[in-house]
């Protein structure tokens, strides 16, 4: 008897994280697959990080909204950097992803729970949007750039929800 192994279609690319060390850039896809992923750019601080557009999906109904949470590690603490909402809008070629940056208070994760950082610990600054272009009418960007208000920012991991 011949066994047939079913293969699952590869998950769609929600976004492409871009790390530009000088002239040559490097890009890492962020897949529409719930759960966490280690960043290949861990310990590589940048002034600006860019999310480029992921896959345009050809389907009749709009894909569900997703969240991408970015994290960095500072002094063995996992810090929440920011959250990006991924929302699809109709285009001539299908459903196109757009991104909106959610900036939240500085926290660390202890025992799986968020803990706010004090002002002395929060000296690394907040995350800010650095896009030169205007968003669409719903406030979403097809390319989104962000960075720290006081220096560089490291993305050591992300989680798709």
pLDDT, position 157? 96
What is the average per-residue pLDDT within 142-149?
A: 90
Gyration radius from the chain CA atoms: 17
- Counting residues of the chain whose pLDDT is more than 70, the rounded percentage is 84
Would the pLDDT of 103 be above 50?
A: yes
What is the average per-residue pLDDT within 139-149?
A: 91
**124 by DSSP, 3-state: which?**
helix
The predicted model scores a pTM of 0.81
**121 by DSSP, 3-state: which?**
helix
pLDDT in tens, 32-88: 999 999 999 999 999 999 999 999 999 999 999 999 999 998 888 888 889 999 999
- 124-130: long-range contacts at Cβ-Cβ below 8 A with a sequence spacing of 24 or more? 124/74, 124/79, 124/148, 124/150, 124/151, 125/149, 125/150, 125/151, 127/81, 127/82, 127/101, 127/103, 127/153, 128/103, 129/101, 130/48
pLDDT, position 131? 76
Q: Rounded mean pLDDT of the chain? A: 85
Which region among 59-68, 92-101, 106-115, 125-134 has the lowest average model confidence (pLDDT)?
106-115
| Placement of tokens 């490291």 in the chain | 154
Confidence category of residue 143, pLDDT binned at 50, 70, 90: very high
């Amino acid at each position: 008897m011949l066994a047939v192994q079913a293969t699952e279609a590869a998950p769609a690319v929600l976004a492409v994280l871009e790390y530009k060390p000088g002239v040559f850039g490097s890009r890492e896809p962020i897949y529409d697959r719930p759960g966490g992923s280690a960043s290949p750019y861990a310990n590589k601080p940048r002034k600006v990080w860019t999310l480029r557009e992921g896959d345009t999906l050809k389907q009749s109904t709009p894909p569900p909204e997703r969240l991408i949470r970015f994290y960095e590690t500072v002094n063995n603490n996992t810090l929440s950097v920011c959250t990006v909402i991924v929302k699809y809008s109709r285009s001539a070629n299908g459903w196109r992803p757009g991104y909106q940056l959610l900036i939240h208070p500085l926290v660390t994760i202890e025992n799986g729970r968020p803990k706010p950082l004090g002002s002395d610990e929060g000296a690394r600054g907040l995350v800010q949007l650095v896009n030169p272009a205007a968003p669409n009418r719903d406030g979403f960007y097809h390319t989104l750039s962000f960075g720290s208000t006081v220096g560089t920012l490291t993305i050591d991991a992300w989680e798709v929800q």
